A and B are shown apart, each in its own frame.
Chain A
Amino acid sequence: MRRRLTLNQQRAVQGILFIFPWLLGFAVFIAKPFVDSFIISFNTVDMMAGFSLKFVGWQNYVEAFTIDANFVPTLLRTVRDMSVNVPVILVFALFTAFLTNQKLVGRAFFRGVFFLPVVIASGLVVEQLFKQGAGTLGGASDTLSALNLPGLVTMYLGPFADTVNSLLSRINLVLWSSGIQILLFLSGLQGISSTQYEAARCDGATDWEMFWKITLPNLTPILLVTIIYSIVDSFTDKMNPMLNLIKNYAFTGQFRLGYAAAAGWVYFAIIFAIIMVVVGSSRWWVFYSGSRD
Chain B
Amino acid sequence: MAKVLEGLRSKTVGQPWFLIYRRKSENLFFRLLMYLVLVNIAYTFLYPVLYMVSTSLMTIEDFVDPAVYYIPRAPYWENYKLAFDGMKYDLALKNSLIIALVSAVGQLVSCSMAGYGFARSKFPFRDLLFGMVIFTFIVPPQTIIVPLFILYRQLGWIDTYNPFIVPSFFAHGLRGPLFVIIFRQFFMRQPWELEDAARVDGCGSMGIFFRIMLPLSKPALLVTFLFSLVWHWNDFYEPMMYLMKPQNFTVPLRLSILQSTLNEVTGGMAGELFNEPLVMAACFLVVLPPLILYLFAQRHFVESIERTGLVD
Contacts and interface: CB of A to CB of B under 8 A. Distances in A.
Interface of A: 8, 11-19, 21-26, 28-30, 32-34, 36-37, 40, 45, 51, 95-96, 98-105, 108-126, 128-130, 132, 134-135, 137-141, 143, 172, 175-176, 183-184, 186-188, 190-191, 194, 197, 206-211, 215, 221-222, 225, 228, 232, 235-236, 238, 242-243, 246-247, 250-251, 257, 260-261, 263-265, 267-268, 271-272, 275
Nearest to A28: B170
Contacts of B142: 242-243, 246-247, 263-264, 267-268
Interface residues of B, number: 99
A210 B22 CA distance: 12
A205 to B, nearest CB: 10
Given A30-B144, A116-B46, A260-B146, A99 B51 contact: no
Given A29-B148, A98-B19, A267-B143, A275 B138 contact: yes
Q: Which of A28, A30, A222, A257 has the largest number of chain B CB atoms within 10 A?
A: A30
B28 to A, nearest CB: 14
A19 B121 CA distance: 10
B77 interface: no
Contact of B47 (A13, A108, A111, A137): A137
Interface in B65-108: none
B157 to A, nearest CB: 12
B138 A190 contact: no
Nearest to A9: B123
Interface stretch (B1-9, B129-137, B214-222, B261-269): B129-137
B294 A119 contact: yes
Given A118-B230, A120-B287, A125-B286, A134 B14 contact: no
A190 B144 CA distance: 38
Interface string B31-45: 000110110111111
B41 A122 contact: no
A24 B234 CA distance: 27
Contacts of B35: 104-105
Contacts of B19: 98, 207-208, 210-211
A23 B170 CA distance: 8
A112 B14 CA distance: 32
Q: DSSP majority for the B interface? A: helix
A28 B311 CA distance: 30
B241 interface: yes
Contacts of A14: 121, 204-206
B211 interface: no
Contacts of A128: 255, 279-280, 283
Contact of A18 (B18, B114, B301): B114
Nearest to B178: A229
A18 B52 CA distance: 46
A45 to B, nearest CB: 8
B161 interface: no
Contact of A264 (B124, B140, B237): B140
Given A123-B234, A138-B43, A26 B15 contact: no
A122 B252 contact: yes
B286 A16 contact: no
Contacts of B298: 108, 112, 115
Contact of A19 (B129, B138, B145, B154): B129
A281 B32 CA distance: 40
Interface string B196-238: 0000000011100100000000000000000000100110110
Contacts of B171: 21-22, 25
B245 interface: no
B121 A191 contact: no
A108 B47 CA distance: 19
Contact of A11 (B121, B124, B136, B230): B121
A30 B132 CA distance: 10
B302 interface: yes
B170 to A, nearest CB: 3
Contacts of A206: 13-15
B247 interface: no
22 contacts: A14-B205, A19-B113, A22-B111, A22-B170, A29-B172, A33-B147, A99-B37, A105-B35, A110-B41, A113-B46, A116-B49, A119-B291, A123-B237, A129-B48, A139-B47, A190-B306, A207-B15, A209-B14, A210-B19, A246-B142, A267-B143, A268-B143
A95 B306 CA distance: 18
Nearest to B227: A118
Given A18-B121, A22-B110, A183-B306, 18 more contacts: A11-B123, A12-B123, A15-B123, A16-B121, A22-B117, A22-B171, A29-B172, A34-B139, A34-B144, A99-B38, A102-B34, A118-B301, A124-B252, A129-B51, A140-B40, A176-B45, A184-B310, A268-B142
B41 A96 contact: yes
B305 A30 contact: no
A246 B42 contact: no
B170 A21 contact: yes
Contact of A34 (B48, B143, B172): B143
Nearest to A173: B48
B150 A8 contact: no
